[in-house]
Amino acid sequence: MTPVLGEVWVYLSTTPLLGLTLTLLAYQAALWLYRRANHHPLLNPVMLAVVMLVLVLSVTDTPYGTYFDGAQFVHFLLGPATVALAIPLHAQWGRLRSMLVPLLATLVAGSLTAALTAVGIAALLGASRESMMSLAPKSVTTPIAMGVAERLGGLPSLTAVLVICTGILGAICARYVYGMLRIDDHAVRGFAIGIASHGIGTARAFQVSEQAGAFAALGMGLNGLLTAASLPWVLPWLERLIG
Amino acid sequence: MIGALTLLLVFQLVGEVAVRGLNLPIPGPVVGMGLLFVTLIVRSGPGEQLRATANGVLQHLSLLFVPAGTGVMLHFQRLADEWLPLTVALVFSTLLSIAVAALLLQRLTHRTPSHGESR
């Protein structure tokens, strides 16, 4: 590097500007690709942006901590965004009340299936305790999942990665599951994917129909609340069971 | 927009304080969401400004996952060591929970009289 470039690099690597700008640039590029590919689920914009950032950081030998000094401003918005989920949830209040009992029963069954099968399978295949605790809240939206993982003794940053993988998996596979089980009701389809694959599944459901999307948002919001409230009590019990 | 953002932050702040004060096992923003949800029911709905701001924030919800997702680079070693249990658990658990939830809700709603004859 020439001396001038070196000076510029020293400046850039000490301000939050670079991490923040890189995050937004990578996201813009990922969105552009995703739209060009007609919203193909395999080209999920979160996954693409993450891959680009990991490549850039690895090539420039930048530690994640330095990057996060800038990116934390984006990360921080997950808090207010979680609070904002109250608004779409409230918009469904009428339908929610009319189907209250079936929805709540499904919520409990789906939420427990998501958490317990993940932890159970990981335990059977010999995963470490930290990994299992990071895996447990994988089906709920990232800000909630990270908070829950931290409470359980998992690694919030690993949880974020597992949550995003879960979302992408659900978004890709749901339609094949529904086809096999002959589920055509869009309210049912939406609610199930919202429970299992949070925001990424919800984004996918909105592309199928307005109704599927609304019920997905409902499933995502409710499962976030239920998982946050129940896992810290359910998991110690499961841990004793698998010893 | 600033008014609505302030409102969201105030609810988050109240949530964080409540969680720490009462020693709750729930993340603060989730309590904030619950409180805002109840407030919206009591006051019968969000104002136009809050609705627009919330839609704006939620439309780019996926952007907010990117910094945390990039944290994958901290875990390459763990992922290399435990890729099998993690992959199998993710795939089976995700497919199973979609199937269980969809089958159950389908059955429950088709038994209630208002939906029973729809097929």
Domain match, B74 and B53 both: no
Number of A/B CB contacts below 8 angstroms equals: 305
* Higher-confidence position of A126 and A209: A126
Min Cα distance A13 → chain B (Å) is 17
**What is the separation, in whole angstroms, between the first and last Cα of chain A?**
56
pLDDT at B115 over 60: no
Residue A53: its chain B contacts at CB < 8 A? Answer: 66, 70
Q: What pLDDT, on a 0 to 100 scale, did the predictor assign at position B10?
A: 97
Token pair, residue A95, equals 């339908």
In-domain check, residue B83: yes
CB environment B96-108: b (16+ within 10 A), e (fewer): bbbbbbbbbbbeb
> Computed from CA positions of residues A122, A125, A128, A129, in that sequence, does the dihedral angle turn out positive or negative?
positive
Domain match, B52 and B8 both: yes
Residue in this structure with the two tokens 């110690």, named with its chain if needed? A236
**CB of B106 less than 8 A from some CB of A:** yes
Burial of B39 (0-12, 13-18, 19+ CB in 10 A): middle
The tens digit of pLDDT for each residue in A155-186 reads 988 998 899 889 989 988 998 999 999 999 98
Residue of B nearest to A91 (CA): B45
In-domain check, residue B64: no
**CB of A151 less than 8 A from some CB of B:** yes
> Which one of B9, B68, B72 has the shortest CB-CB distance to A146?
B68
- Residue B118 binned pLDDT confidence (cut-offs 50, 70, 90): very low
Domain match, B84 and B45 both: no
Domain match, B38 and B78 both: no
For chain B, give percent helix, strand, coil, nearest 5: 85, 0, 15
**CB contact at 8 A, A90 and B37:** yes
Q: Which domain holds residue B89?
A: 69-119
In-domain check, residue B34: yes
Domain match, B111 and B73 both: yes
The tens digit of pLDDT for each residue in A82-102 reads 898 888 778 878 877 888 899
Say yes or no for a CB contact (<8 Å) between A147 and B26: yes
> Which one of A46, A102, A121 has the shortest CB-CB distance to B92?
A121
Say yes or no for a CB contact (<8 Å) between A82 and B34: no
For an interface test with B, give the residue of A20, A54, A87 to mutate (most B CBs within 10 A). Answer: A87
- Percent of chain A's residues with pLDDT above 90: 45
* Higher-confidence position of B23 and A56: A56
ipTM greater than 0.85: no
**CB of A79 less than 8 A from some CB of B:** yes
In-domain check, residue B18: yes
Q: What pLDDT, on a 0 to 100 scale, did the predictor assign at position B113?
A: 46
Q: For chain B, how many structural domains are there in total?
A: 2
**CB of A55 less than 8 A from some CB of B:** no
DSSP A9: H
* Higher-confidence position of A153 and A41: A153
In-domain check, residue B12: yes
The tens digit of pLDDT for each residue in A35-45 reads 999 877 778 88
Domain match, B55 and B4 both: yes
The tens digit of pLDDT for each residue in A213-240 reads 878 888 988 898 899 889 888 888 877 7
> Which one of A57, A72, A121 has the shortest CB-CB distance to B88?
A121
Residue B101: its chain A contacts at CB < 8 A? Answer: 106-107, 109-110, 113, 191-192, 195-196, 219
Min Cα distance B46 → chain A (Å) is 7
Domain match, B43 and B73 both: no
Domain match, B118 and B73 both: yes
